[in-house]
Amino acid sequence: MTEKLEAVTLQLDASLGPEVRLAFADAGIEARFLERNNIGGDAATLIVMATLSVQALPHLLKFLGDRAERAGVRRAKIFELEFENPTEADLELIRQIARERMTGKAPERP
């Protein structure tokens, strides 16, 4: 069976660079990191692009969830969904979609 891969793009505050690089390395997620500088030359935004398995998403979502309160995650595009300043409710929606894709079936709805 071929592992399902998903494209993920994150736009983060540049100060989260060391944390996101470490979190991705610890989870074995290969990613491309681009710094977008502002007019003054300092790195204002870090763009992270990765293609990862659905099974690796929990590591990414934990990273995002741990930082959602600090508002360092500006934008996240996971699956066909795009969020600005993702909240815990947004992350739960992504978790639900990941569960559906991993099991191949939708959860029961009330």
108 occurs within a structural domain: no
Name the residue range of residue 42's domain: 5-103
Residue 1: predicted pLDDT:
41
**DSSP-derived 3-state class of residue 5:** strand
- Asked if residue 39 is part of any domain, the answer here is yes
Instruction: Please list the ranges in the chain whose pLDDT falls under 70.
Output: 1-5, 40-43, 68-71, 105-110
Count of domains observed in the chain: 1
Locate tokens 């029961």: which residue?
A: 108
pLDDT score for 106 = 57
* Residue 109 located in a structural domain: no
The contacts found for 20-25 with CB under 8 angstroms, 24 or more apart, are 20/46, 20/48, 20/63, 23/59, 23/60, 23/63, 24/48, 24/50, 24/60, 24/63
Report pLDDT for 4. Answer: 64
Is residue 110 in some structural domain?
A: no
- The domain that holds 54 is classified in CATH as 3.30.70.120
H-type alpha helices, 28-70: 57-68
pLDDT of residue 110: 47
